[in-house]
Amino acid sequence: MTARILVAACLHESNSFNRYPAGLEHFNRQGIFRDDAVGPRFAPTRTEMGGFLAWAAQQGWSITTPLAAQPASAGPVAEEAYTFFRDVLHEAATKARKAGLDGVLLALHGAMVAEGAPGQDGDGGLAQAVRDAVGPDMPIAISLDPHGNVSDLLAGSVNAISAYRTHPHTDHFETGQRAAAMLTRALAANELPQVHLARRPQLRGFDGARTETGPGPMHEAMALCRGFESVDPAIYEVSIQAGFSPCDTWHTGPTAAVTAATRGARFQAVAETMMDFAWDNRCRETFRLLSVAEALEAARNVPPGPGPIVISDYGDAPGGGAYGDATAMLSALLQAGLPNVVFAGLKDPEAVAAAEAAGIGGQVRLALGGKIYKNFGGGPVPIVAEVLKLSDGNYVNDGPYAKGLPNRIGATALLRVLEGPGAGMRIMVNALARNVLDRAQLRLVGLTPEDCNILCIKGMDAIRAAFQPGSRAVIPFESGGIASRGLDFSALKRIRRPVWPLDPIAAP
């Protein structure tokens, strides 16, 4: 018999330090896709939804696709947007159940902070809405980002969890397929699997889920997970999530989620063992963030050779929900007078508008960037520049990250600095706050990394997928900004206390 499956995606990573709520307008920039619009948009992509759709086609499932939305990271989701998505999913699941439904596949992020959700737990609220609609006996399998903070509500509302196993995340598609495979297994075995969740009083763990910065805790933890799966056939999957610290929710922090055929103490013990590992290794990390001055010094010390030196602004990474307009490194690079420098991904819609008004070849006098949070990460920087290129900022991902997915960074201008020690430096400015994640973004204005001596971009570890290959060095630094490690996390009021590293705490 053909299985009837509801397939949906609603992903958002929220940074509670971001003062701008993510309303429907924010989601609409990347698109909210409904029903028949979901397949054409996502089937050609290496996203979770792409993985779901390919699996469904291969299985011959009869699917309904009420929703797919995955905007850029930003502030907490506004209530109007959260309730819209919740109601869409609830109504679609209710309708599907009445028509005959065998299971649900959902792609969530796990770090959606949402106004109007229980405890501001957006992912838990969405999963609960689906559960309420389909009843207690319907298998629901979900995919997550390992930077998701998994709540008890989320784990208790679903039957199977699989998070990405790479960071940078290049296995969205495969993770979607793993979640779909668990649903297939549950249907074939007529089982209703259960999720066993564990956490410790810690905000960070599993080395932030990093897998491309060398051997470390995430590799070791995943080896333990695969080991547990291999010796116990009742375990569907052991999934670990490093969490995302700037989320003001009670449950923020790393988790282990063991999906097993039934509920059982031995499965909970596996989850607890994984979190013992997370606690014991909480201080081990495979990278070190440099200050602006240290990063510049490190860049000067990289031997000459082919390929760029990539300097990435971790603390102001829009992929972590930051504003993307911090200027501390921009100022330092303008003063340093190094040859052939490109600074890409600075958000400043006013500067782009001025460049558009001047036109290609025109000159602009700007106070660039630093407008949103000028006391933290650097204020506006005065420059005189020539407009080299303009673009609408629309492109299709063609790198290792969600390949095939149309994307946008907003109206974009490439400027060349005309005065001062930084004369000749090129700056790519865009209207929207976005990580520089894909080489296609640079090609919008005719840039390639190979043409740069130094390429400074906004982004955390995710930038390594596209830019580490062929580079002479990748140097992450902290300029300040609201994705910074230097934030006062005790300003987040919902996070359970005591919690490491905010409080002195004995081993739990």
Q: Which residues sit at the interface with Zn ion, rule CB under 5 A? A: 145, 147
Helix and strand totals (H; E) in the chain: 14, 19
Question: What residue spans of 100-216 are helical by DSSP H?
Answer: 122-134, 152-157, 172-189
Q: How far is the CB of 306 from Zn ion (least distance, A)?
A: 31
| Residue entry with tokens 């668990």 | 182
Q: Is the peptide bond before 139 cis (omega within 30 degrees of 0)?
A: no
**SS3 state at 282:** coil
Nearer to Zn ion, 26 or 147 (CB): 147
Nearer to Zn ion, 147 or 165 (CB): 147
Determine contact, residues 71/30, Cβ cutoff 8 Å.
yes
Nearer to Zn ion, 109 or 426 (CB): 109
Nearer to Zn ion, 111 or 425 (CB): 111
Between helix 328-336 and helix 292-300 the angle, nearest 10°, is 40
Degrees to nearest 5, angle at CA 159 with 76 and 79 = 20
For 359, counting Cβ atoms within 10 Å of its Cβ (0-12 exposed, 13-18 middle, 19+ buried), the class is exposed
Nearer to Zn ion, 147 or 251 (CB): 147
Strands (DSSP E) found in 155-243: 160-163, 194-199, 235-241
For 223, counting Cβ atoms within 10 Å of its Cβ (0-12 exposed, 13-18 middle, 19+ buried), the class is exposed
Q: How far is the CB of 113 from Zn ion (least distance, A)?
A: 15
Phi, psi of 299 (to 5 degrees): -65, -40
Q: How far is the CB of 147 from Zn ion (least distance, A)?
A: 3
Q: How far is the CB of 26 from Zn ion (least distance, A)?
A: 18
Q: How far is the CB of 338 from Zn ion (least distance, A)?
A: 32
Nearer to Zn ion, 145 or 348 (CB): 145
Q: How far is the CB of 489 from Zn ion (least distance, A)?
A: 18
Nearer to Zn ion, 23 or 320 (CB): 320
**SS3 state at 410:** coil
Q: How far is the CB of 100 from Zn ion (least distance, A)?
A: 35
Determine contact, residues 12/24, Cβ cutoff 8 Å.
no
Q: How far is the CB of 137 from Zn ion (least distance, A)?
A: 32
Nearer to Zn ion, 164 or 500 (CB): 164
Q: How far is the CB of 313 from Zn ion (least distance, A)?
A: 17
Phi, psi of 97 (to 5 degrees): -65, -40
Nearer to Zn ion, 243 or 308 (CB): 243
Q: Which residue is nearest to Zn ion (CB)?
A: 147
Query: Per-residue DSSP letters for 293-332?
Result: HHHHHHHHTSPP-SSPEEEEESTT-GGGT--S---HHHHH
Nearer to Zn ion, 14 or 327 (CB): 14
Q: How far is the CB of 145 from Zn ion (least distance, A)?
A: 4
Residue 465: its H or E element: helix 464-467
What CA–CA distance (Å, rounded) separates 139 from 153? 16
